Amino acid sequence: MSPGPAAAIAAAVRAGERSAASAVQESLTAIAAGADLGAFNAVTAEAALARAEAIDSAVAAGEDPGPLAGVPVALKDNICTRGTPTTCSSRILEGWEPPYDATVVDLLNAAGAVVVGKTNMDEFAMGSSTENSAFGPTRNPHDPGRVPGGSSGGSAAAVAGGLTPLALASDTGGSIRQPAALCGIVGMKPTYGRVSRYGLVAFASSLDQIGPMARTVTDAALLYSVIAGHDPLDSTSIPEPVGNLNGALAGDVDGLRVGIVTELCGEGIDGDVLARLEAAAGALASAGAEVGEVSVPAAVFGLSAYFLIAPAEASSNLARYDGVRYGLRVPAPGAVDMNVATRTAGFGDEVKRRIMLGSFALSAGYYEAYYGKALKVRTLVMRDFAAAYERFDVLLAPTSPSVAFRFGERTANPLTMYLSDVCTVASNLAGHPAISVPFGSGADGLPVGVQVMAPALGEDVMFRAAAALERLLPGTQPAAARAGSAGAVTKGTAP
């Protein structure tokens, strides 16, 4: 098990072998050199350098700044940062400065991490390509003509492009895992309730989770360990203590029961992606895992349920953007006219579509046919997964049906974009943890991710399988397109 770049920085800073200031400066230099990626909405250079100096002073005084000492971290721009704009890449929140920090931000600070900026995303996390940002696209570091995936495309590009060793993002239907797969990095969605949502701008409250993005499984586990835990400020937070993952990361997969989800390996999944999934399954089998196929029948209906449940919750959550308390206001003589003018000007097309879809699914006469039915399908998804986990410890599936696609390829027809999430939404509906691990390359040499899913609070076994996959990939290099160095966008280096 090799330490990732984040673990290496933290170890060196804690040991007094390098300064936090140098680590942060290196990241800021890389961010400036990689500005063409469009990964960041805002860079907080001054505050980051001041904080790095405070960490260095603490080390000099014999204190331990924590497990992420001096590690630069990028935050998806839907995670609230006090006094620093948090936009969700939407005009309706442009310039808004939250009056409080998200719990994950407090935890990062307590662990010695240094926030260096806020990353671009699909507006309000609705999308799979980051093309729905009001502030322009983010480019894939492996090919600037292609999308980084989404909605956390900025965080994924920042890590894959070597701008920061770590990033936090959010995952409602795959928004951490799919961009991680498309950018050739590790991205993980924790068990629902494992990480506090306090200070995460709500999209679909029963599905949203914050999770880590990193270049190695070890680094992802390190960041996860810092942010996981109970938070009294989030009433859906799970009270059980978080286990130590060190054993899992070093453990082998001998005898581990791995089930390949047949429903997620059929129609609509590209051949190059399936080939990498088979290679991953073969590698695990050769390492002693018991690999078999498992049917999760409701998994295929997950997407339909997801695209009714998530918009329904969003239509309610986004009702708060009314031009009264914060963000944009378009003046009008009456309050309702002001609400309409503000929302019409402030939201982009995809957000409008989802709000209307959700309002429709919840409206009188259609509630039972759409939202009510979707909630029952959600029960079936949970039952089918529970049955699969009686026979298998972890499940294996593709993360994304394809490698990174080109800009504009899926924007004309929203349904084709929605199909990008077909392999990831089920974990959100069930509330289970899942991780995408890079496992070689597919078409045009672009990265392919393999997804490991586990039952609720099964992060331990999920990380065990993920770490094994990382070790088993021949010729593995941490998948940084240009770690820490300046330079033009380069074609990917995935093996």
Partner 1 sequence: MAERISRHDVVHVAWLARLELSDEELERFTSQLADVLDHAADVEALDLDGVPATSHPYPVGNVLRDDVPEPGLDRAEVLAQAPETEAGQFRVPPVRGEAP
Please, which residue, 69 or 92, has the CB nearer to partner 1? Answer: 92
* Minimum distance, C-beta of residue 301 to partner 1, in the bound complex (Å): 5
Q: What angle do CA 111, 165, 173 make, to 5 degrees?
A: 90
- # chain residues binding partner 1, by CB under 8 A: 71
Residues 364-383 that bind partner 1 (CB under 8 A): 370, 372-380, 382
Under rule CB under 8 A, residue 353 binds partner 1: yes
Q: How far is the CB of 352 from partner 1 (least distance, A)?
A: 6
User: Distances in Å between the alpha carbon of 177 and those of 102, 132, 234, 447?
Assistant: 22, 18, 23, 13
Contact positions with partner 1 (CB under 8 A) in 187-226: 191-193, 206
Q: Which of 19, 27, 76, 133 is an active site residue?
A: 76
- Out of 1, 53, 326, 445, name the contact with partner 1 by CB under 8 A: 326
Q: In the chain, what's the furthest Cα-to-Cα distance? A: 71
Q: Closer to partner 1 at the Cβ: 60 or 356?
A: 356
Catalytic site includes residue 76: yes
CB 44, min distance to partner 1, A: 18
Q: Pick the catalytic residue: 90, 152, 170, 175?
A: 175
Q: How far is CA 338 from the centre of its chain?
A: 35
- Residues 389-418 contacting partner 1, CB under 8 A: 413-415, 418
What residue has token string 């505050």? 47
Which C-beta is closer to partner 1: that of 322 or that of 459? 322
Smallest separation, CB 93 to partner 1 (Å): 10
Among 25, 29, 262, 304, which residue interacts with partner 1 (rule: CB under 8 A)? 304
Which segment (21-29, 151-159, 423-431, 461-469) binds partner 1 by CB under 8 A? Answer: 423-431
Does 259 sit near partner 1 (CB under 8 A)? no
Q: What H or E segment, with its residue span, contains residue 294?
A: strand 290-294
Instruction: Report the residue number, 16 or 232, with the smaller CB distance to partner 1.
Output: 232
Say whether 151 is catalytic: yes
Beta strands in 352-419 (DSSP E): 394-398
Which residues touch 190 (CB under 8 Å, ≥6 apart)?
A: 209, 210, 211, 224, 228, 433, 459
- What is the separation of C-alpha 309 from the centre of its chain, rounded to a whole number of angstroms? 19
CA distances from residue 87 to 133, 168, 171, 200, 458 in whole angstroms, order as listed: 10, 15, 17, 12, 33
C-alpha 64/C-alpha 13 separation (Å) is 9
Q: Which is nearer to partner 1, 37 or 430 (CB)?
A: 430
- Please report how close the Cβ of residue 232 comes to partner 1 at its closest, in angstroms: 6
x/- track of binding to partner 1 for residues 85-124 (CB under 8 A): -----------xx-xx------------------------
Phi, psi of 257 (to 5 degrees): -90, 115
* 453 contacts partner 1 (rule: CB under 8 A): no
The answer to whether 371 and 308 have CB atoms below 8 angstroms apart is: yes
**Residue choice 274, 341, 409, 483 for contact with partner 1 (CB under 8 A):** 341
Helices 45-60 and 5-14 cross at an angle (nearest 10°) of 50
* Residue ranges in 228-257 that form contacts with partner 1 under rule CB under 8 A: 232, 235-236, 238
Q: Which of residues 269-298 bind partner 1 (CB under 8 A)?
A: 298
Evaluate whether 181 touches 399 at the Cβ level (below 8 Å): yes
Q: Which residue's CB is nearer to partner 1, number 167 or number 328? A: 328
Shortest separation between residue 176's beta carbon and partner 1, angstroms: 17
- Of 380 and 483, nearer to partner 1 (C-beta) is 380
Q: Smallest distance, Å, CB 413 to partner 1?
A: 7
Of the listed 128, 151, 152, 196, which one is catalytic? 151
CB of 355 vs partner 1, minimal distance in Å: 5
295-322: b or e for each residue (b if 16 or more CB lie within 10 Å)?
Answer: ebebbbbbbebbbbbbbbbbbbbbeebb
Nearest Cα to 151, choosing from 138, 160, 163, 141?
Answer: 138
Write out the H or E segment, with its range, that includes residue 41: strand 40-43
Cβ–Cβ < 8 Å for 92, 66: no
For the CB of residue 74, give the shortest distance to partner 1 in the complex, in Å: 24
SS3 4: coil
Q: How far is the CB of 421 from partner 1 (least distance, A)?
A: 12
Only one of the segments 256-264, 279-287, 357-365, 462-470 lies at the binding site for partner 1 (rule: CB under 8 A); that segment is: 357-365
Shorter beta-carbon distance to partner 1: residue 101 or 470: 101
Residue-by-residue DSSP string for 51-101:
HHHHHHHHHHTT----TTTT-EEEEETTB-BTTB---TT-GGGTT---SS-
Provide the H-helix boundaries in 246-328: 246-250, 271-286, 302-317
Say which residues have a Cβ less than 8 Å from residue 484's Cβ, sequence separation at least 6.
5, 26, 27, 30, 162
**Which lies closer to partner 1 via its Cβ, residue 207 or residue 217?**
207
- Rounded CA-CA distance 132/491 in Å is 24
Reply yes or no on whether 2 is catalytic.
no
Considering only 338, 367, 409, 484, the residue that binds partner 1 (CB under 8 A) is 338
Stretch that binds partner 1, among 165-173, 332-340, 397-405, 478-486 (CB under 8 A): 332-340
Active-site amino acid positions: 76, 151, 175
